[in-house]
């Protein structure tokens, strides 16, 4: 016996009565409406599991109701019913989201099979969606972790951008907010996902190398060009090209990039032939391109061409409810990487994390968790950790003397390096004894010594 609710929308009283009898006998709760207005009211009030929807109604059409259901109640399944066997209506109904289509006179045995199959499929889809949401909560959305309302909006925007697989997307946000992860998510969810995604950091290499990196070069086009080389645009054909830190792009190259965006053609350095490519462009920046345009440092036409779709990655301090979720996510990640079994944060540490401003955003949080995972051997993170204590001092303490002031000016890496050097000196450079003083394993100590060039 089924227990779902079915709304029957038909202008024939006999159809509504028969549906109540036949489907009610199967255990369904059956509601009925004779016109569009009543149907929409009952859908809003009861949100049925399934709607049996007649195409021709006295005050409108079933297709109109179907479109409304699909827009506002996507979880409600719809089966269209009509006295007219027309394939064009069936096609339109399926495109609008109908689960199935049946004609009058109704064969109730056949209808029951269709209803049960539709509800079973819907139940599986909901279960799959719930599992996917749980997976996203544990593993992140395409590598991005977050459950706050602002991040759910970001995920929805990323999905929308992925569907528009030819449109250029500009991703903006502070350093460390996950702009590159957002770009990767857009690519992975798009129909270009099987093709390459090429990434270029516009601020990391010189102007001459940048030009060769993007466009490629012909043999002999400059001193060291000993052979022909394809550039990022050519290598990314049919895929995605991600221009990270686009605000640092040299002014001379901005015009060249604009031409590629507009015409999808370019020439290799030293080349004489135009090369056509089918590339989807993504760009990211932590700067205000509008301000750069006003300062004359960034082309206005390039800005407009890039800013077709935009996604703003929020700072970590603006998504406070995600801080502890992210911390636990990174703890789980580094537990696997370092073969540890840290359970989580102490309550004091949780409070400190929630108070901290996180100027380095998610990247800073990840680095602090990684560092602590290497330095702490207990069950909970930072319960006696040096680094979080220094983090707390960096946030709250007022230096009392010049020596303390100089100490607080150091980075966390400097503090960690100094702690290791002090422990080694106290242990007369006996690594096992130094590790015990630091309350870490000898392997962890050797790892950190290698990182800081102390081995």
Domain-located, residue 402: no
Determine whether 425 is exposed, middle or buried from the number of CB atoms within 10 Å of its CB (0-12, 13-18, 19+).
exposed
| Residue 98 sits in the same domain as residue 156 | no
313 touches 363 (CB < 8 A): no
pTM of the predicted protein model: 0.59
**What is residue 399's predicted lDDT score, i.e. its pLDDT?**
38
| Residue 308 sits in the same domain as residue 357 | no
Determine whether 367 is exposed, middle or buried from the number of CB atoms within 10 Å of its CB (0-12, 13-18, 19+).
middle
Domain-located, residue 50: yes
**What is residue 125's predicted lDDT score, i.e. its pLDDT?**
83
Helix (H, G, I), strand (E, B) or coil at 191: coil
C-beta atoms surrounding 269 within 10 Å:
17
Domain-located, residue 175: yes
| Residue 347 sits in the same domain as residue 234 | no
d(CA 221, CA 229): 11
CATH assignment of the domain containing 377: 1.10.8.60
CATH assignment of the domain containing 243: 3.40.50.300
Query: What is the DSSP track for 12-62?
Result: -HHHHHHHHHHHHTTT-EEEEESSHHHHHHHHHHH--SEEEEESEETTEEH
| Residue 103 sits in the same domain as residue 157 | no
| Residue 98 sits in the same domain as residue 163 | no
| Residue 256 sits in the same domain as residue 165 | yes
| Residue 326 sits in the same domain as residue 265 | no
| Residue 176 sits in the same domain as residue 245 | yes
Closest CA to 27 of 101, 116, 98: 116
Domain tally for the chain? Answer: 4
CATH assignment of the domain containing 106: 3.40.50.2300
| Residue 171 sits in the same domain as residue 77 | no
**What is residue 85's predicted lDDT score, i.e. its pLDDT?**
67
**What is residue 406's predicted lDDT score, i.e. its pLDDT?**
44
**What is residue 38's predicted lDDT score, i.e. its pLDDT?**
95
Domain-located, residue 142: no
| Residue 160 sits in the same domain as residue 297 | yes
d(CA 52, CA 20): 12
d(CA 21, CA 15): 10
d(CA 124, CA 97): 17
d(CA 226, CA 37): 75
**What is residue 90's predicted lDDT score, i.e. its pLDDT?**
77
pLDDT tens over the chain, length 455 residues = 667 999 999 999 999 999 999 999 999 999 999 999 999 999 999 999 999 999 889 899 999 999 999 888 888 999 998 776 667 787 888 888 899 988 888 899 999 999 999 999 888 888 877 776 666 555 567 889 998 999 999 999 999 999 998 999 999 999 999 999 999 999 999 999 999 999 999 988 888 789 999 999 999 888 777 888 899 999 999 999 999 999 999 999 999 999 999 999 999 999 989 999 999 999 999 999 999 999 999 999 999 999 999 999 999 999 999 999 999 999 999 999 988 999 998 888 888 888 888 888 999 899 888 888 888 777 887 544 535 434 444 444 333 344 444 444 455 677 788 888 878 877 777 787 777 777 777 767 777 888 888 86
| Residue 322 sits in the same domain as residue 307 | no
**What is residue 392's predicted lDDT score, i.e. its pLDDT?**
45
Closest CA to 239 of 199, 201, 295: 199
Instruction: Give the domain extent around 91.
Output: 5-132
Query: What is the DSSP track for 81-130?
Result: EESS--HHHHHHHHHTT-SEEEESSP-HHHHHHHHHHHHHHHHHHHHHHH
Query: What is the DSSP track for 122-184?
Result: HHHHHHHHHHHHHHHHHH-BTTB---SHHHHHHHHHHHHHHHSTTS-EEEE--TTS-HHHHHH
């Amino acid at each position: 016996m089924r227990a779902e609710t079915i709304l029957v929308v038909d202008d024939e009283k006999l159809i509504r009565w028969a549906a109540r009898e036949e489907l009610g006998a199967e255990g369904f709760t059956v509601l009925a409406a004779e016109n569009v207005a009543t149907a929409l009211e009952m859908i809003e009030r009861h949100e049925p599991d399934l709607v049996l929807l007649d195409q021709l109604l006295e005050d409108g059409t079933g297709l109109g109701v179907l479109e409304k259901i699909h827009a506002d109640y996507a979880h409600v399944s719809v089966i269209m019913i009509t006295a007219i066997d027309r394939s064009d209506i069936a096609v339109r109904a399926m495109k609008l989201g109908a689960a199935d289509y049946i004609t009058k006179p109704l064969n109730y045995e056949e209808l029951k099979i269709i209803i049960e199959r539709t509800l079973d499929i819907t139940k599986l889809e909901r279960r799959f969606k719930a599992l996917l949401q749980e997976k996203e909560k544990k593993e992140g959305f395409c590598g991005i972790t977050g459950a706050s309302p602002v991040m759910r909006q970001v995920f929805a925007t990323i999905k929308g951008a992925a569907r528009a697989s030819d449109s250029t997307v500009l991703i903006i946000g502070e350093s460390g907010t996950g702009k590159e992860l957002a770009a990767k998510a857009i690519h992975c969810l798009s129909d270009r996902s099987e093709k390459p995604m090429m990434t270029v950091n516009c601020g990391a290499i010189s102007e001459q190398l940048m030009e060769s990196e993007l466009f490629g070069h012909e043999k002999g086009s400059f001193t060291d060009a000993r052979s022909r080389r394809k550039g990022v645009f050519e290598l990314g054909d049919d895929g995605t090209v991600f221009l990270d830190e686009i605000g640092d792009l040299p002014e001379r190259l901005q015009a060249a990039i604009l031409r590629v965006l507009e015409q999808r053609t370019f020439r290799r350095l030293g080349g004489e032939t135009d090369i056509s490519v089918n590339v989807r462009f993504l760009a990211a920046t932590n700067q205000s391109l509008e301000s750069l345009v006003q300062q004359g440092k960034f082309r206005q036409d390039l800005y407009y061409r890039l800013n077709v779709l935009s996604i703003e990655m929020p700072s970590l301090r603006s998504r406070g409810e995600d801080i502890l979720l992210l911390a636990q996510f990174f703890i789980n990640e580094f537990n696997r990487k370092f073969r540890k079994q840290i359970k989580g944060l102490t309550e004091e540490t949780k409070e400190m994390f929630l108070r901290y401003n996180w100027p380095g955003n998610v990247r800073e949080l990840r680095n602090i968790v990684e560092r602590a995972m290497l330095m702490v051997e207990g069950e909970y993170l930072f319960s006696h950790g040096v680094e979080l204590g220094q983090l707390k001092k960096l946030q709250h303490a007022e230096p009392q003397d010049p020596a303390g002031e100089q100490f607080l000016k150091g980075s966390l890496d400097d503090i960690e390096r100094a702690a290791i050097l002090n422990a080694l000196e106290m242990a007369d450079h006996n690594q096992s004894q130094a590790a015990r003083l630091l309350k870490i394993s000898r392997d962890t100590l050797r790892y950190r010594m290698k990182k800081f060039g102390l081995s």
